[in-house]
Structure 1
Amino acid sequence: MPMFNAARTVTRAIDSVVAQTHGDWELICVDDGSTDGTIELAAAYAPQLGNRILTERLDRNGGPARARNHGLARATGTWVAVLDADDAWRPDRLHMLLTTAAPSGADAVCDNLIGFDDHHGRETVPLFQSLPARLDLPTAVAAEYQGRYNLGYLKPVVRRAFLDQRKIRYDESLRTGEDLLLLLDILAAGGSVACSSRATYIYTTPVGEGSRKLSRSTNTAPRDADLARALERFAERHRMRLSDHDRQALSRRTGYLAAIASISHFRHARLTRDWPTVLRLFIERPEIRRHVWLFLRPKRPSFFQTH
């Protein structure tokens, strides 16, 4: 569990691990330079959990990928899973995923995610209608899946031996998109990734489905150019393993990231009420003005609309 200034949410996350019906687990909490007492809240569980919960405080804030890698380095279990400190698990998540993975021989297994609106404090809807039984790289890297989110939001449970043998770790150059790159590395290394359409990971969406407000726990901003560069490095690193179909899918995603970079920046500035940035982008970028016009223009009545 990577943690950064998560005092408001971390006990909910830890409680969801303690409540798992699969009882054989250890929880490694890695504090990424918090200043709000997050690690003290996590450490307070030690009297009831003993050595099942480990806490580590990093010397500086290095981002979620670095914190994840510290957790992986300390993990001893057969399987490893990441749980962000503002998210939670349904009580049967580990049991469901491990019983799905074992008979299928998968190296990693993913579940669907159910959204959580941080402002309303309640679950909303699953992110995806369904997931493929087996995941391939072009599907994983697509900009959208079923017209909604991309599959980079998935939080796989992975065989630790597979990660260690292939020397797979999170890309520490990234502050966002690190879960997608790990998933792609698993697939490029020949990993078999099974999926369940059941939603048992409770994911705090960056913007609430009901409130339409930016989550109070989000610490990230759009970094589309960083992710595009990471995908280009990935394509180069695995060039001998990738099919033409894989390379085309990666190229489409990098092109998409370049096209939406300024719009993502504009939307984030608007949600955080950074009005100087909103005004600057509106003045400087014609694609922003087109975006605003398309949003504000009057909607013409449909030919079939009756009055």
Structure 2
Amino acid sequence: MPAYRAEQFLAVALESVASQTYGDWEVRVHEDGVYDDSAKIIADFSRMNPGKVYHSFSSKNTGVSRARNQLMDTATGDVIAFLDADDLWLPDHLERALSVMRRSGADWYISGMQEVDGGGLVRGSERLPPAVATSEMAGSLLEHNFIPTSLAVLGPRVVQQKFRFDPNLKVGEDLDLWIRILQAELEPALAEKVTILYRRHDSNTTNDPIRFAEEFAKVFEKHLNNSFLPAGACLRGIEIMLRPVIRMRRWRAPHLAVFALWRLWWARRAHTANCPP
């Protein structure tokens, strides 16, 4: 669990771990920059759950990918379940994930989710992962990343291959990881029940549409010529992300609009060179 300015929701997130019906868990929390009272919350939780809580920290914020990678490097279990500090697991999350993976022989598990707001009130309807064939899932994820990080549980075969998040990606690092796991032919199991409460609040990255689009375009740029993905899908993603940025930046920050235009030109040129008609 990476924790950055997390004190508002951290205690509730940790309590959702302690409430699991599957009891053989450990929770590792990396405080990514010491900016609030998260350390006290973690210490209090650790006293209530001795021997099951591991706390690390960095003095400065290094980014969520590096924080998660450090936690994965030190994890001792053969299954890794993600939980962001503002989300919650419902009590049967771990038990259900492990049961489904054992029964189906799947390599990893994708949960369903219910959005809640900052106060915990339900927003919208429940969302289960779409019934998409594994061979088509990466293409579907490029259109809509339906696997926020907290929904994923990695089984032993995935953990053994030591997949890690790309620290160069500030947004969409989870999508990039899912693409690489799917490309390695590791089979997911899709949940039939919601076991995650996914919180939408004012600090979510997606609340800054310009920054989100600019950063997310980097995921498509990384996989621009990945033959595993549908032809042209990443180029379309780059165009969808950068065109609104160019329009908005033209008036607010012309030099950034020029840079976005250059990225779009480069992507079209690189894609044409590698994928001639």
Judge same fold: TM > 0.5, yes or no.
Answer: yes
Q: 1:133 to 1:23 in 2, by over 3 A?
A: farther
Are 1:233 and 2:233 counterparts? no
The residue aligned with 1:115 is 115
**Post-superposition shift, 1:59?**
3.1
Whether contact under 8 Å (1:21, 1:92) holds in the other structure is yes
CA distance in structure 2 between the aligned counterparts of 1:169 and 1:217, rounded to whole angstroms: 25
The count of corresponding residues between Structure 1 and Structure 2 is 250
Whether contact under 8 Å (1:114, 1:124) holds in the other structure is yes
Q: 1:261 to 1:280 in 2, by over 3 A?
A: closer
What is the letter of the counterpart of residue 252 of structure 2?
A: R
The residue aligned with 2:139 is 138
Question: Match of 1:69, SS?
Answer: helix
Are 1:174 and 2:175 counterparts? no
**Post-superposition shift, 1:127?**
5.5
Q: 1:22 to 1:260 in 2, by over 3 A?
A: farther
Whether contact under 8 Å (2:80, 2:159) holds in the other structure is no
**Normalization by structure 1: what TM-score?**
0.73
CA distance in structure 2 between the aligned counterparts of 1:131 and 1:158, rounded to whole angstroms: 19
**Normalization by structure 2: what TM-score?**
0.80
CA distance in structure 2 between the aligned counterparts of 1:201 and 1:131, rounded to whole angstroms: 16
Whether contact under 8 Å (1:133, 1:196) holds in the other structure is no
Q: Which runs of 4+ in 1 moved over 6 A?
A: none
**Post-superposition shift, 1:200?**
1.1
**Post-superposition shift, 1:124?**
2.3
Unaligned runs of 5+ in 2: 258-277
The residue aligned with 2:154 is 158
CA distance in structure 1 between the aligned counterparts of 2:126 and 2:235, rounded to whole angstroms: 25
Q: 1:234 to 1:133 in 2, by over 3 A?
A: closer
Aligned residues: CA RMSD: 2.7
CA distance in structure 2 between the aligned counterparts of 1:247 and 1:43, rounded to whole angstroms: 50
Cα shift readout 1:18-45 (whole Å, capped 9, x = no counterpart): 0000111110001000311112211222
The residue aligned with 1:75 is 75
Q: 1:158 to 1:63 in 2, by over 3 A?
A: same
**Post-superposition shift, 1:280?**
3.3
Higher Cα Rg: structure 1 or 2?
A: 1
Unaligned runs of 5+ in 1: 145-149, 206-214, 267-276, 286-307
Q: 1:129 to 1:49 in 2, by over 3 A?
A: closer
The residue aligned with 1:196 is 191
The residue aligned with 1:270 is none
